Amino acid sequence: MSAPDDTGTIGDAVAGFTSKLRGGDLGSLPVVVGLVIIAVLFQALNPRFLAPGNLVNLTLQAAPLGVIALGTVVVLLAAQIDLSVGSVSGLASAIVGVCAMRLQWPMLVGIVAAIAAGALIGAFYGFLLSRFGVPSFLITLAGLLGFLGLQLALLGPTGSINIPFSNPLVQFANTWFLPPWAAYLIVGIAAIGMLVEGLARRRRRARADLPLSHISITIVKAASLLVLLSIAVWYLSLDRGTAVMPVLFVLLVVIMSYLLRRTRWGRSIYAVGGNVEAARRAGIRVTRTLVTAFVICSAFAALGGVLSAARLGSATTLTGTADTNLNAIAAAIIGGTSLFGGRGNAWSAVLGVLVISAISSGLTLLNLDASVRYMITGAVLLLAVIADSLSRRSRTSHGRA
Amino acid sequence: MTAYDVSSARDELLDPVISMRGISKSFGHIQALRGVDLDLYRGEVVALVGDNGAGKSTLVKILAGVHPQDSGTIAFDGENVSIPSPAGSQDLGIATVFQDLALCDNLDVVANLFLGRELGHGPLDEEAMEQRSWELLRQLGARVPSVRVAVATLSGGQRQTVAIARSLVGEPSVVMLDEPTAALGIAQTAEVLNLIELLRDRGLCVVLISHNMADVQAVADRVIVLRLGRVNGRFRAPEMSYEDIIASITGAMNLGDRKPDSGGAK
């Protein structure tokens, strides 16, 4: 047996990709295709859909939900679920409102308090899960109600706290845009970073005498990232430009992606999600892994709540209720993170939230009301879950279960 | 018919790597092991055989740190030790390949091999792990298409090989295999048996639990028969006969009252 030869040109990469697809390992292909279909469909129905102004709004709207979905991805990867992310985000927005407006504390203290409360809730879930062995489904279902109640109690009889538009947090979420040069600079740094990382990886593999992919693949990847992001920045700059909040979201995704793929902690999350007994026997501290997953999920949910309060300029009884919960979970699943645990990655939060927000934005443009929006989002979620199950079945029949 | 020959020259030359004395274990009112004495040596394959419920798996689980024994002592390289956890067992240098293999199907071969003991300070050193994975698999003569495919895509024999290769990552002195050939075809079984001989030739002690007498006779240097939680027979390689082992397993013959493997000499 020997390591495969030093081939791996672009042709091979494409061949490998199609073989993966046939084996049922669909990756993010269905969601990308779905996004294109959605874009074409809504553009045909209302030409304003793909207008720069609407896309700028879409990025602003997607970011808070995306942050919540990012935390959900981590919990799903560990083969758990958190049904209370909506309530926790609502509670966090109420905490920010109370701290900043009623108590007149500095804004930053309120934000930190809200995120800390989220982390504490996650630790509490982790404790309940490991101490009593109650399924996370039930613990977080109880949390959904409990923290919704706490949110209502915090907001008091008026049921809402307005945060004035002059507040820096609200400005951050509504009016902070990157100047074009800064946006292009970030794009350039991202592309160069990808290139440098890819080349360094190749060098390390060459030194370790491992099979290499052709250097053109690394270059093509970085170049396509550069081109795609530049087009996006240019298109958004036709309107108000690239907002800071979505950039923050993507930055968090990059960080989480790194932690999940390149650290022991990330490996333990995947292992626990794939086969918890195997992980335990390999000496992984399962309890600690699960607690950290819930802490991260709830902390991200809280941050998402803070961002959505900032976006709306108020913390109300409606923040984080209704569809936030399921939208966040749906986004993670639509983006390609498996409900069955152990499969998926941080970027599925980005793809999934784009789909959810695009549908929501398109339907709003068509003046359809909430009833239709719920039904359509539900149908898309159903499709995503069916795709997940089908690809799992196909993997089984191709011996890739 | 031969019981175990105490005065074997090799046993006097080498001290046992593991020496168990009077091991008992019960689960509720079921007595799984009753005063089992067992010595294990480097460079030999010891088969543990017995009917269902004879206590084979319990004995292995005690060594693997899954359950502690109720009474009795375990000495590792002459020193009394306790094995409170799977990690404790691994730290001593005992590796266990369970029947279900305990692989994470969603992770690739490299990630499975190094699960729980990844290389690298801070970020994982994927290149070092991948390089070491190729080395290990090459040493075992494994035919694995790539170490970067998910374990789910591998065949039963390949999965068994990965599981055995994983047990070697920590450079153990004892490898315990629980029914390694149960789910395999003929060719794959032969591969795994070759692998077991390879491990023995590298100086490891291999403990093999098996129901398959053909496999046991093919590779085992010694056979220990457990029956109802007691050692009911000890056989050494060339002299053991299929009939005797079966008679011992079923209880038609009882050879268990002798002192353990090397005990008479000490």
Cβ separation A400–B152 shorter than 8 A: yes
Q: Are residues B244 and B177 in the same domain?
A: yes
| % of chain B beyond a pLDDT of 70 | 90
Q: Looking at the DSSP assignment, which residues form a beta bridge with residue A316? A: A160
CB distance A401–B152 less than 8 Å? yes
The SS3 assignment for A224 reads: helix
Q: How confident is the model at residue B259 (pLDDT cuts 50, 70, 90)?
A: very low
**Contact assignment for A204 to B127 by CB distance below 8 Å:** yes
**Same domain flag for B83 and B197:** yes
Both B85 and B215 in one domain: the answer is yes
Between residues A228 and B252, which one has the greater pLDDT? A228
Question: Rounded to an integer, what distance in angstroms lies between the CA atom of residue A276 and that of residue B49?
Answer: 29
- Cβ-Cβ contacts under 8 Å, B107 against chain A: 267, 270-271, 274, 342
What percent of chain A has pLDDT above 90? 53
Q: Chain A contacts of B96, Cβ < 8 Å?
A: 281
- Winning range, highest mean pLDDT, from B11-25, B59-73, B146-160: B59-73
Task: Tell me the pLDDT tens digit for each residue of B162-201.
Answer: 998 988 888 899 999 998 888 788 888 888 898 899 899 9
Are A58 and A361 contacting, i.e. CB atoms less than 8 angstroms apart? yes
Backbone angles phi, psi at A8, to 5 degrees: 80, 45
Separation CA A271–CA A342 (nearest Å): 7
Quote the minimal CA–CA distance from B172 to chain A in Å.
14
The two three-digit tokens of residue A387, written as one number: 């795709």
Identify all chain B residues contacting A282, using CB atoms and an 8 Å cutoff: 102, 115-117
Residues B129 and B191 in one domain: no
pLDDT at B12 over 60: no
Distances (CA, A) of A224 to A39, A197, A345, B1: 21, 15, 20, 75
Q: Look-up: residue for tokens 């920045």? A: A233
CA pair distance A69, A85, nearest whole angstrom: 9
- Helices B186-201/B156-169 angle, 10° precision: 20
Q: What are phi and psi of A216, to 5 degrees?
A: -65, -30
Residue B123 and residue A1: Cβ atoms within 8 Å? Answer: no
Over chain A (401 residues), what is each successive 10-residue block's mean pLDDT?
A: 47 68 66 88 91 92 95 96 94 92 87 96 94 90 92 88 87 90 94 93 88 86 93 91 93 96 94 92 89 97 94 83 83 88 91 91 85 82 80 65 45
B103 and A CB contact within 8 Å: yes
**Antiparallel, parallel or unpaired: β B205-209 and B174-178:** parallel
ipTM: 0.84
Kindly state the tokens that stand for A76. 């799903």
Among B169, B202, B226, residue at a domain's last position: B169
What is the CB neighbour count within 10 angstroms for residue A237? 18
Question: Do B225 and B240 belong to one domain?
Answer: yes
Q: What is the pLDDT of residue A398?
A: 59
Q: pLDDT, tens digit, for every residue of A5-27?
A: 444 566 666 776 676 666 556 66
Give a yes or no: residue B83 inside a domain: yes
Q: Are residues B145 and B24 part of one domain?
A: no
User: What pLDDT was estimated at residue A8?
Assistant: 53
- In contact, B118 and B124? CB cutoff 8 Å: yes
Q: Do both B88 and B16 map to the same domain? A: yes
In a domain, B111, yes or no: yes
| B3 inside domain | no
In the 8-state DSSP scheme, what is residue B97?
A: E
Its domain, for residue B89, covers: 9-93+172-265
Same domain, B188 and B233: yes
Residue from B242, B244, B114, B137 nearest B191 by CA: B137
* Residue matched to tokens 């999940």: A260
Q: State the nearest Cα–Cα gap between A20 and chain B, in angstroms.
A: 11
Burial of A175 (0-12, 13-18, 19+ CB in 10 A): exposed
Q: Is residue B67 in a domain? A: yes
Q: What is the pLDDT of residue A265?
A: 95
- Would B203 be classed as within a structural domain? yes
What per-residue confidence (pLDDT) applies to B11?
Answer: 46
Chain B contact set for A274 (CB, 8 A): 104-107
The three-state secondary structure class of A71 is helix
Question: Any long-range contacts for B214-221 (C-beta under 8 Å, 24+ apart)?
Answer: B215/B181, B215/B189, B216/B47, B216/B49, B216/B245, B217/B242, B218/B193, B219/B45, B219/B47, B219/B193, B220/B45, B220/B46, B220/B47, B221/B44, B221/B45, B221/B46
Q: Is-contact B100 B57, C-beta < 8 A?
A: no
Residues B89 and B180 in one domain: yes
Same domain, B69 and B176: yes
Pairwise CB contact (< 8 Å): A284 & B116? yes
| Angle in degrees, 0-180, between the axes of helices A180-207 and A215-237, rounded to the nearest 10 | 170
Q: How far is CA A313 from the centre of its chain?
A: 23
Residue B122 above 90 pLDDT?
no
At A187 the pLDDT is 94
Euclidean distance between CA atoms A142 and A84, whole angstroms: 8
CA distance A77 to A74: 5
Domain with B209 in it: what CATH number?
3.40.50.300
Among A4, A342, A400, whose Cβ lies nearest the Cβ of B146?
A4
Q: Given A264, A278, A343, which is nearest B103 (Cβ)?
A: A278
Please report the residues numbered 123 through 152 in chain B whose beta carbons come closer than 8 angstroms to any beta carbon of chain A. Answer: 123-124, 127-128, 130-131, 134, 137-138, 141-144, 146, 150, 152
The residue among A313, A340, A365, A335 whose CA lies nearest residue A165 is A313
State the Cα–Cα distance between residues B116 and A277, nearest whole angstrom.
13
DSSP label of A114: H
Fold (topology level) of A28-176+243-397 = ABC transporter involved in vitamin B12 uptake, BtuC (1.10.3470)
Question: Which residue matches tokens 């003991």?
Answer: B117
pTM of full prediction above 0.90? no
Average pLDDT score over residue span B144-169: 86
Which residues on chain A are in Cβ contact (under 8 Å) with B141? Answer: 1
Q: Quote the tokens at residue B230.
A: 């007691």
What domain count does chain B have? 2
Asked if residue B123 belongs to a domain, the reply is yes
State which residue of chain A sits closest to B139, comparing Cα positions.
Answer: A1
pLDDT tens digit sequence for A145-189: 999 999 999 988 888 888 888 888 888 988 899 999 999 999 999
- CA-nearest of A186, A264, A253, A263 to A226 is A186
pLDDT at B4: 45
Say if B4 falls within a structural domain: no
Do B177 and B88 have their domain in common? Answer: yes
Q: Do B102 and A270 touch (CB under 8 A)?
A: no
Question: Is the Cβ pair A207, B124 closer than 8 Å?
Answer: no
> Please, is A56 exposed, middle or buried when counting C-beta atoms within 10 Å of its C-beta (0-12, 13-18, 19+)?
buried
Instruction: Clarify whether residues B185 and B228 are in a common domain.
Output: yes
CA-to-CA distance for A221 and B153, rounded, in angstroms? Answer: 27
Q: Of all helices (H) and strands (E), which one includes residue B95?
A: strand B94-97
In a domain, B2, yes or no: no
Tell me if B104 and A279 make a contact (CB, 8 A cut-off). yes
Chain B: nearest CA to A212, how far in angstroms? 11
CB B95 within 8 A of CB B88: no
